[in-house]
Amino acid sequence: MANSGDINVGTVIRFNGELCRIEEYMHRTPGNLRAFYQARMRNLKNGKIVENRFRAGEAVEVVRVEYKQMQFIYPEGDFIVLMDNETFEQIALQENLVDAPQFLKEGQEVGVLINTETDLPMSVELPDKIVVLVTYSEPGMKGDTATRTLKPATVETGATVMVPLFVNEGELIRVNTKTGDYVERVKE
């Protein structure tokens, strides 16, 4: 058991019998009241966000996890098939374990969180930003650069991303996988 001062962002804990990953964690001292830790956590089983306040020094059960790099090979129904880069072993995981399945493309490296107690994968994380090819977009217009006007564009993974007017079909763009937002245009 650890206490509330020992955990950080990214730590996996057991909260109300469920495994949760800390996404935001801050120490607060409101006026002359006692200090506490405000935590925003994601339930790894169903993906819901949970918020809680931990007292300073409160006992928290930390779950040991292993972070492993794997390669996405192909989708298969409601499952995705990943390959371990070291042993070349293939595993099939449910698609709901992926934080942004619409941005998965074949051959892409992903991080897999594995519970060391049960040796079961808990979640699949894509890199924060990925480069994708725009496969369909309305033709771009000249001008109208003073305002941040956006248009929908379909990328190679099949996802739709809102991009600026100057982005055209066939161009590479960088996308934030956490929010699904356009970041920048990429030179080849």
Once rounded to an integer, what is the mean pLDDT over residues 134-160? 82
pLDDT at 110: 93
pLDDT at 45: 79
Q: Give the Cα separation of 126 and 137 in Å (integer).
A: 24
Place of tokens 């969180």: 113
Q: What whole-number distance in Å separates Cα of residue 108 and Cα of residue 91?
A: 15
Is the per-residue pLDDT at 148 higher than 80?
A: no
Please report the pLDDT score of residue 140 as a whole number. Answer: 66
Residue type, 74: Y
Total Cβ atoms within 10 A of residue 158? 11
Average pLDDT estimate for 150-171: 91
Q: Which amino acid is at 109?
A: E
Q: Assign domain 129-186 to a CATH class.
A: mainly beta
Residue range 15-35: average pLDDT? 89
| Cα gap 7→13, rounded to integer Å | 9
Give the pLDDT of residue 37.
Answer: 93
**Residue ranges of the chain assigned to CATH 2.30.30.30:** 2-62
Classify strands 129-137 and 150-155 as parallel, antiparallel or unpaired.
Answer: antiparallel
pTM: 0.73
Q: Among 30, 33, 28, which residue's Cα sits nearest to residue 51?
A: 28
CATH of domain 2-62: 2.30.30.30
Q: Please, which residues bridge with residue 25 across strands? A: 39
Residue 34: count of CB within 10 angstroms of its CB:
9
Class of the domain covering 65-125:
mainly beta
Mean pLDDT of 141-166: 83
On the 0-12 / 13-18 / 19+ scale of CB atoms within 10 A, 106 is exposed
In the chain, where does the domain assigned CATH 2.40.50.140 lie? 65-125, 129-186
